[in-house]
Amino acid sequence: MAIDLVGILIQIVVAAIFLAPVLWIAGRLLAGKDKAKFTDVLWIAVLGTVIGAVLGAFVGGLIAAIVMFIVWLVLIKHFFDCGWLKALAIAIVAVIIFVIIVAILAVILAIIGFGIIAAWF
């Protein structure tokens, strides 16, 4: 049950790079630009990552997943100053935005990859 500090730091950096912008966009769309500040999104990403790592070290499985889902909603609710339903909506929209961005990047990388392969032949 040891907590890997280097792993947590890497997770925080990855969350700040990939999660924060998506959550920021979703927050600005649903909570408004006066409530969804990028610094707040960074706090959500850092706190969610650290709490998730600590919780994952002591509790695993479905219980940890449910508790972490609630923790993420609490963080969104607190930092975006909104209700539970709006926090849930922001989380859902953030996931949808993330999936769209990943799909677009996958298509772009596939086109680039096929272009490179075609150039070889």
- Mean pLDDT score across all residues of the chain: 89
Tell me the per-residue pLDDT of 20-76, one tens digit each, with 9 for 90 and over. Answer: 999 999 999 999 889 999 999 999 999 998 898 888 888 878 888 899 999 999 999
Euclidean distance between CA atoms 68 and 56, whole angstroms: 9
Instruction: Give me the number of domains the chain comprises.
Output: 1
When pLDDT is cut at 50, 70 and 90, the band that residue 7 belongs to is confident
Domain interval for residue 56: 5-120
